[in-house]
Amino acid sequence: GKPLEITPLNGKSLVSIRSFKANSVNTKASFDSTTDRIKKSVASKNDISRRPIVADFRGRVIIAEPCALLFCSMFPSINVRHNLNKDLPLDRAQLCILGTASVKFNIIGMQFCPENNRHLLVWGTTEVCVIVLNDACDSIEKTIELEVELEPHECDTEYLLKGMWFPGSESITVVIFGTF
């Protein structure tokens, strides 16, 4: 056979299809207590990034709002065929919201399980849980709170940095903590 010839792209490689108004969704976590505010400042100072938006293979998006999950379908939002104002940003009313659900903590990050798109790992600064979504992926079927054992003398300085699924598993998770 003939070797594949790869040439670099010139110009833009990704083009924005649709955009949303700045206040359409609230992805900012609310930090009410003094401890939460300290953890927020430590996280931002140490470049710990948030993952407030995840998407599955069907085009469904889950957005983390303060202590809540917003389930959306992106395909109607990006369908520009029948939309005359495709250059105008969308607001919350035009977002195809499938459902909402509350969680017990401020969400720092989320990750879908690569083996099962109904399993969602959700973590905060010190809490973590696995959320099992219903078949339509528009609400929570079950929440499994994972127990995290922090050292009693380090509770105020220990932070959950990242959560992830163990490769090839839909039942084993890994959480990474750091002390600052």
Among the listed residues 173, 129, 128, the one whose alpha carbon sits nearest the alpha carbon of residue 150: 128
pLDDT for 68 equals 92
Question: What is the rounded CA–CA span in Å between residue 56 and residue 58?
Answer: 5
Question: What is the rounded CA–CA span in Å between residue 107 and residue 123?
Answer: 6
Confidence of residue 140 (pLDDT cuts 50, 70, 90): very high
> pTM, whole model, 2 decimals?
0.77
pLDDT for 148 equals 83
Single-letter amino acid code for the residue at 137: C
Q: What is the mean pLDDT of the chain?
A: 80
Confidence of residue 173 (pLDDT cuts 50, 70, 90): very high
CA of 14: how far to CAs of 5, 11, 55, 140, in Å?
21, 9, 18, 33
